[in-house]
Structure 1
Amino acid sequence: MPPEPLHVVAPEGIDDPARPSGGNHYDRRLVDELRGLDRQVHVHEAPGAWPDPSPPDVHGLGTLLDELPDQATLLVDGLVASAVPDLLARRATRLRLFVLVHLPLGVLSASRRPAEAALLARVAGVVATSGWTRAWLHEHYDLPEERVHVAVPGTDAAGLVAGSRDGGALLCVGAVTPTKGQDVLVEALTSLADLPWRCTLVGSLEVDPGFAERLCEQLAAAGLADRVTLAGVRTGPDLDATYAAADLLVLPSRAETYGMVLTEALARGLPAVAARTGGTPESLGRTADGRVPGLFVPPGDADALAAALRSWLTDSALRTCLRATARVRRGSLPAWSATARAVARALEAR
């Protein structure tokens, strides 16, 4: 007997190339892979600026949910679900409701925790995109770990990067926001002016325009405007070419539940310097013999980040070692088909 149809509610713009995000990419690849498993999947985009929707956005979502048949299986992106916990909770009996948690809103806002915790305790099940997220939900919301199913992001295949001799092409990928920590990176780079490097920041400048403007001012004040490129959004072949020209991925985030850009880099044999926060140790991972394909620094610590980058830029043996380790780790990255199978098992759990 084929599985029952699945309804997926995702934030508006899941396929918008101007608004790429790890969450959008995960949702789209998950849907495609579930369909590849012969599951009927209906995608519903929820208009609005989630997780801060307007009243009409909330009303529209309620109407959408009320039009679904009784006991329909529904997987709602947590960016939507946790923004309107009461609306979802009122429908948790009529629908088989699952929440896909990329980043618990309570990680960034303690005021959201009580309502988010209450919602996740009521739904049929929770899918978390990392083991770290499951542990966080257990610790902070007292959710039994057996009710939270982990489905880590898969990885798209990519060609190996060549890398340059001096390792000076630095790359940071992520929307330009305080959470992603590009200001910490710029502060670190300020103390490395004596070394040869260039840095490309790929990511939307429109998510937090005020922060992006302050970052430009920070670059100008540090005299780095000619060495750091704010490239904006890049996708598809343009993003592939940007990765191909890089030597090192830098992820200075203040918070990450997984860090899909780390596995994107590893898929190309590219090592990383990353903030040790949330699920980044999980995504960067280790080789079978325990080697790490990069360096970790504390989140928000510009001095530690500068020291790690200086080590990378000045130690050719370190570069050789990390590049070799990244190529080995590349062979053990998770596949999107495994992600879909993990979610399918979660949806069948009773």
Structure 2
Amino acid sequence: MGPAVDLRLVVPGSLGYSSGGNVYNAMLAGALAGLGVRVETVEVPGAWPVGSTEDRASLAAALGVPSATAHDGASPARATASPDAVLVDGLLALGEPEEVRAATAPGPARLGILVHMSLPDAPGLTPEGRRRLAGLERASLAAVDAVIVPSSFAARRLAERYGTRALVARPGVVRAPVSPGSLTAGAPPHLLCLAALLPGKRQLRIVRALAGLAGLPWTATLAGHDAADPDYARAVREEVRRLGLEGRIEVPGELRGAELDQEWARADLTLLASESETFGLVVAESLARGVPAVVPAGTGAAEALALSLEGGLGAAGTAVREEDPAAGGDPLCSETGQWLASAEVRARWRAAALAARPLLPGWDATARAVLGALSPASAGSSGTR
């Protein structure tokens, strides 16, 4: 699919905070427009991934399902003309195979699902809930023309689970100034975690790991939306107080604009401890500023960190395993401690991040990959339909 086409991008209604998925969607829309694609973004609010009758009606309308097929009460969230392709966020589509199947019938438009996260990977699910979501997801993926994911890690996950062939459109980065960091100003090293305060992001693990490093100089900020799970956000702040780290760890909530820029400017190392990450957009954003990172192994965040290898100076950080008390504690603590204690490690990781920075792909590359996946020429190379 080349330029001068019409594409409808169907995304969830506002989550009220910045997530990797909604940042990807917004940046993709802008990059597609920059390539000459006529992009219509349609927001569909609802209790996803499995919505109410009204939610599903709105989704059907946004996907272009004829009114006779859609449930009663569909909201008027439909384009005035038929697009050449429809790309729908997986948070909407993966739990609603009936609406997805109906959307493949009306006409020639190609339908793709953009899978930011596989539903069974959501934290806190019961085994029965995981099986149910996997069944819905399998059916939705089988119905569409294209499945697009942000990482090779995510593509492998879908292939292993369902035999789905997915095409990769990695997130790009926005060029940003190099973060000078706190060390250059003679201050203690500053550590930064940017993630919503949710159990799956595991800020409690970070707080406890840093408590084990209290004898070394450092400060830290755990910044992220704190209203989605108030109990967990409260638990993180209480753990900071319980461990006597109030003067060293800040938990300010979500930062945007100038406040976020200031936080990046004083960052020397990014920490991410998520249970599951499809890619880890914040890691690419960190590298774009010359800031190395410690990330969870066995997730897409390790793939994001591997972008730093393109600079030829090794990895700009490390990927750490899960906690294992029998093996001597938490690798997040030991690896971060090694970075704090060793000027040589700090210099090596920083040099690798700076070397990789000019080589990171922009969002135009992401947009081209998406267009290629939605092109009729790609039929048979993704999806299972």
TM-score by length of 2: 0.84
Helix, strand or coil for the counterpart of 1:179?
helix
Matching residue of 1:203: 224
Q: Which amino acid aligns with 1:217?
A: E
CA separation in 2, counterparts of 1:47 and 1:162? 40
8 A contact 1:293–1:322 mirrored in 2: yes
The AA in structure 1 aligned to 2:136 is A
Q: How many equivalent pairs are there? A: 344
Q: In structure 1, what residue type is equivalent to 2:137?
A: E
Unaligned runs of 5+ in 1: none
Q: Aligned residue for 1:176?
A: 197
1:200-239 correspondence runs (5 A): 200-239=221-260
**How far apart are residue 52 of structure 1 and its match?**
4.8
Are 2:176 and 1:162 equivalent residues in the alignment? no
Specify the alignment match of 2:69 in structure 1: none
What is the aligned partner in structure 2 of residue 90 from structure 1? 102
> Could you report, residue by residue, the CA deviation over 1:110-154 in whole angstroms, capped at 9, with x for unpaired residues?
3211210121011011111111111111111111x3xx2110000
Give the aligned partner of residue 356 of structure 2.
329
Q: CA deviation at 1:299?
A: 3.6
C-alpha separation in 2, matches of 1:222 and 1:183? 11
Could you tell me how far 1:278 is from its partner in structure 2? 1.8
Change (3 A) 1:200 1:71: closer
Match of 1:131 among 152, 164, 185: 152
Q: Distance in 2 between matches of 1:170 and 1:81?
A: 37
Letter in 2 for 1:5: D
- Corresponding residue SS for 1:199: strand
| Paired residues for 1:32-71 under 5 Å | 32-65=30-63, 66=65, 67=78
- Structure 2: gaps spanning 5 or more residues: 66-77, 380-385
The separation in 2 between residues aligned to 1:331 and 1:161, in whole angstroms, is 14
The partner residue of 2:317 within 279, 294, 301 is 294
Partner of 2:337: 310
User: Aligned equivalents of 1:230 and 1:321: distance in 2?
Assistant: 29
In 2: Cα distance, 1:193 partner to 1:71 partner: 57
Distance change in 2, residues 1:299/1:92 (3 Å): farther
> Residues 2-60 of structure 1: CA distance to partner in whole angstroms, max 9, x if unpaired?
6441111001128xxx5111111110111111111111111100112433534332222
1:96/1:64 CA distance change after superposition, 3 Å: same
Describe the shift of the 1:337–1:70 C-alpha distance in structure 2 as closer, same or farther (beyond 3 A). Answer: closer
What secondary structure does 2:330 align onto? Answer: helix
Deviation at 1:298, TM superposition (A): 1.0
Structure 1 residue aligned with 2:10 = 9
Distance 1:52 1:194, change over 3 A: farther
RMSD value over aligned CA atoms? Answer: 2.0
Kept after mapping to 2: 8 A contact 1:254/1:300 = no
Instruction: State how far apart, in whole Å, the 1-side matches of 2:61 and 2:41 are.
Output: 15
Match of 2:169 in 1: 151
Report the AA paired with residue 36 of structure 2: D
Which of 76, 89, 100 is the aligned partner of 1:77?
A: 89
